[in-house]
Amino acid sequence: MIDLSWYIIMLYIHIFSVVLSIGPYFVLFPLLALIRRAPFESLPDYLEPFRITVRLTKHAGHVLVATGIILTWITAWSWKTSWIVATVLIMVASLYFIARAFSPLLRQLKAPHEDRNFLVNKLRKALILYVIITLAMMWFMVSKPTIW
């Protein structure tokens, strides 16, 4: 019989929520070229995966935070541990970033606009920056460096 502890269950849920928070963004990169050249009438079809991804990662982030709190509580880690503090700070920055980066750009792309290339370039930069932010957060969680 398999002996599953609460720690193992929470750890796997935590890891799965990390995958859901980062993974879908990689699928969006090929869509940028399609958005750049699609007729305006079909743009909503290409922008919908972005909206779905932002919503999915938001909910995965809620699970990520909840399981992170539980894992910190049931292990010997302290909230003052350097890698936990760094991860929380990066997470707060990513929450601010995701709220300010994607939704306004997607709204601008849905409305009639003059320079789609400019908006798609901004969306691409936001996508790259968000992936870097979340990968940095993941690096702290995996490598657990001692900063202080």
- The DSSP 8-state label assigned to residue 40 in this structure reads G
Res 124: pLDDT: 94
**Is the CB of residue 95 less than 8 Å from the CB of residue 61?**
yes
Res 128: pLDDT: 93
Average of per-residue pLDDT values in the chain = 90
Q: Residue 11 class from Cβ within 10 Å (0-12 exposed, 13-18 middle, 19+ buried)?
A: middle
The half-sphere exposure of 146 on its side-chain side, counting CA atoms within 13 A, is 2
Nearest to 82 by CA among 25, 11, 35, 140: 140
Angle between the 116-143 and 82-110 helix axes, to the nearest 10 degrees? 160
Average pLDDT over residues 91-106: 82
Res 3: pLDDT: 67
What pLDDT digit, counting tens, does each position of 55-89 carry? Answer: 898 899 899 999 999 999 999 899 999 999 999 99
pTM for this structure? 0.84
Tokens of 64: 């990520």
The distance of Cα 101 from the centroid of its chain, to the nearest Å, equals 12
